[in-house]
Amino acid sequence: MEIQKVYVRHDGTTVVKCHNCGTTKTVDAAKLKKRGKPLKLRCSCQAVFQIFFEFRGAYRKKCSLDGYYTKLPVMNEWLKMRIDSISMTGVGFTTLNRDDLRKNDRLMMKIFLDDREKSKIEKRAVVKWVQGRDIGSSFVETDKYDKILGFYLMP
């Protein structure tokens, strides 16, 4: 039986997709944290599959996405960025402007995903490191966009 590896979000839930019928459902993985072995699930289509929850580190997807960011708390200038990697916990990006970002700066981001729906997500993030124009950032909260991002990141 195939074991599906899924990544757990900030809030302890994860999205699981049935390989047989494509139905998705949200599972509360937090309660299962100590099990450390795959969980067997039965879908409403009767297909049985195994899920392994990955808590350590978030799956980071290499990408090339367009986005904009602005510094908080005053959102007066949206600057362009190119996102090189994305996960449930943050993004790595290159700013296309001469940069004035510093560690611990708080940002609002608009990220354009290249999924079928061309989803746009908005996330608050904090700058973790700066290397020239390369920036590492972490999202600061869970929000309604996490579901879209979760689908986008499904391996």
Report the residue number, 50 or 87, with the smaller CB distance to Zn ion.
50
Q: What's the CA gap between 22 and 44, in Å, rounded?
A: 11
CA–CA distance, 53 with 32 (Å, rounded to integer) = 8
**Measured from the CB atom, is 47 or 96 closer to Zn ion?**
47
d(CA 112, CA 19): 27
For residue 22, the minimal CB distance to Zn ion (Å) is 7
List residues near Zn ion by CB under 5 A: 18, 20-21, 23, 43, 45, 47
Buried-exposed string 118-139: b where 16+ CB fall within 10 A, e elsewhere: eeebebebebeebeeeebbbeb
- Is 21 or 75 the residue whose CB approaches Zn ion more closely? 21
Q: Which residue is associated with the tokens 């986008």?
A: 152
Nearer to Zn ion, 44 or 76 (CB): 44
Return the amino acid letter for 5.
Answer: K
Nearest distance from C-beta of residue 49 to Zn ion, angstroms: 8
Taking alpha carbons only, the member of 84, 77, 66, 121 closest to residue 100 is 77
Nearest distance from C-beta of residue 41 to Zn ion, angstroms? 9
Question: Shortest Cβ distance from residue 44 to Zn ion (Å)?
Answer: 6
